Amino acid sequence: MFNTSDDEVMLAVALGIPLYACDPALSDWGSKSGSRRAFAEAGIAFPVGREDLPDLDALAEAIADLLDRPSRPRRLVVKINEGFSGDGNAVIDVADLGSCPDARQVRERLPAVLRYEAAGMDFIAYQRLFVRHGGIVEYWLDGRNKRTPSVQLRINPLGEVEWISSHDQIMAGPNSQVFQGSTFPADECYARALHEPALRVGEVLRRHGVLGRFSVDFVSVLGDDGWDHQAIEINLRKGGTTMPYQMLQFLTNGRYDPGLGLFLTPVGQVRHYYATDNLVDPLYRRLIPDDLIDILVARRLHFDETRQQGVVFNLIGALSEFGKLGLVCIGDSPATARRLFEDSVATLTEEAQADRRVDR
């Protein structure tokens, strides 16, 4: 998904032009194991765990070792190196493994205790993927108030690490590990605190020759002493936050100020958005792209260039066939952006239901 391939390298060589993206030979730094190695080299906080596990026997040994530590976790998460959007993840409730299991006992119990994030996944398929790609196991981070922010950066051809943006990710799935969308910027309570560790990761990647866009994902838990931020993943590519942020940039000609942790228009107005690329409802298959534009304008939800607020649709080619689309809801506050999203969903559903009643 948006990763640079060998085909693009061959095309760049044939055309005699540079490739402004991560060399596929360095893609391991974006794997789950490579991410943990980069975090260690950067000296930032990340979950206790083990990386570079080639098979389930090694996984079982790593789990047994982690459970032999004084600070025993309630849950563990297993991740396949090349998994994305949570589909390669599986959670283990430590209580299901017994009191003091050794590696052999853990290995025997794995088929029964793995709880997969991907729909339809079973042990045979998961084992095959794990052996093919390898993976990691680490402590599952718990907390009553838990967020999943992400910082986007870029390493330019001059070798400079540049800020792009920060987001809070909207997650779904059995254990809230599947990306559904994002809010921008990340919560002002901690957005600026994420910049320094993300920059340190960027410096590590720069030293190893990485070029182009990347992001660093965190899990942030609010405790008695404030927010605790643990880095969990590097994405060496454009991701789900790239398009909505670029749409905001192009529509407003604004910029992200990392010092403030805010996005500012040229006249200094603050802008936020609530975005998703996965709004799905079978009812929406009754609509065509032209309907979306008419509905937006009639309900005054469309993006207003004067106010620089409103809703912009994307991925509308999937609307009639799959009932799926994306939207970016831009407002002057997080509450306004969220209200625009909720109003848009309610309006689309209402119009699709009305269209069905007319057909009857």
pLDDT averaged over 10-residue windows placed end to end, the chain, 360 residues: 83 92 92 98 98 98 93 93 83 90 94 92 95 97 91 95 93 73 93 95 97 95 93 90 93 91 94 94 90 87 91 90 94 96 93 64
CATH value at residue 174: 3.30.470.20
Same domain, 221 and 283: no
Same domain, 134 and 161: no
Structure tokens that stand for 20 in this block: 């402004």
pLDDT digits (tens, 9 = 90+) for 61-73: 999 999 988 888 9
Same domain, 163 and 222: yes
Same domain, 32 and 56: no
Same domain, 206 and 344: no
pLDDT at residue number 293: 85
Assigned domain for 326 exists: yes
Q: Among 117, 140, 163, where does a domain finish?
A: 140
Assigned domain for 5 exists: no
pLDDT at residue number 360: 44
Assigned domain for 315 exists: yes
Same domain, 150 and 121: no
Angle 238-1-119 from CA coordinates, rounded to 5°: 125
Assigned domain for 18 exists: no
Same domain, 281 and 346: yes
pLDDT digits (tens, 9 = 90+) for 301-328: 889 999 999 999 998 889 999 999 999 9
Same domain, 227 and 147: yes
Which residues on adjacent β-strands are paired with residue 147? 220
Assigned domain for 16 exists: no
CATH value at residue 334: 3.30.310
Same domain, 285 and 360: yes
pLDDT at residue number 358: 46
pLDDT at residue number 238: 82
Assigned domain for 112 exists: yes
Say whether pTM exceeds 0.85.
Answer: yes
Nearest to 359 by CA among 267, 301, 286, 306: 286
pLDDT at residue number 25: 92
**Rounded distance, CA 357 to CA 174, Å?**
35
**Rounded distance, CA 287 to CA 299, Å?**
16
Assigned domain for 288 exists: yes
**Rounded distance, CA 260 to CA 281, Å?**
37
Q: Among 95, 121, 140, where does a domain finish?
A: 140
Same domain, 154 and 43: yes
pLDDT at residue number 204: 98
Q: Which domain holds residue 321?
A: 269-360
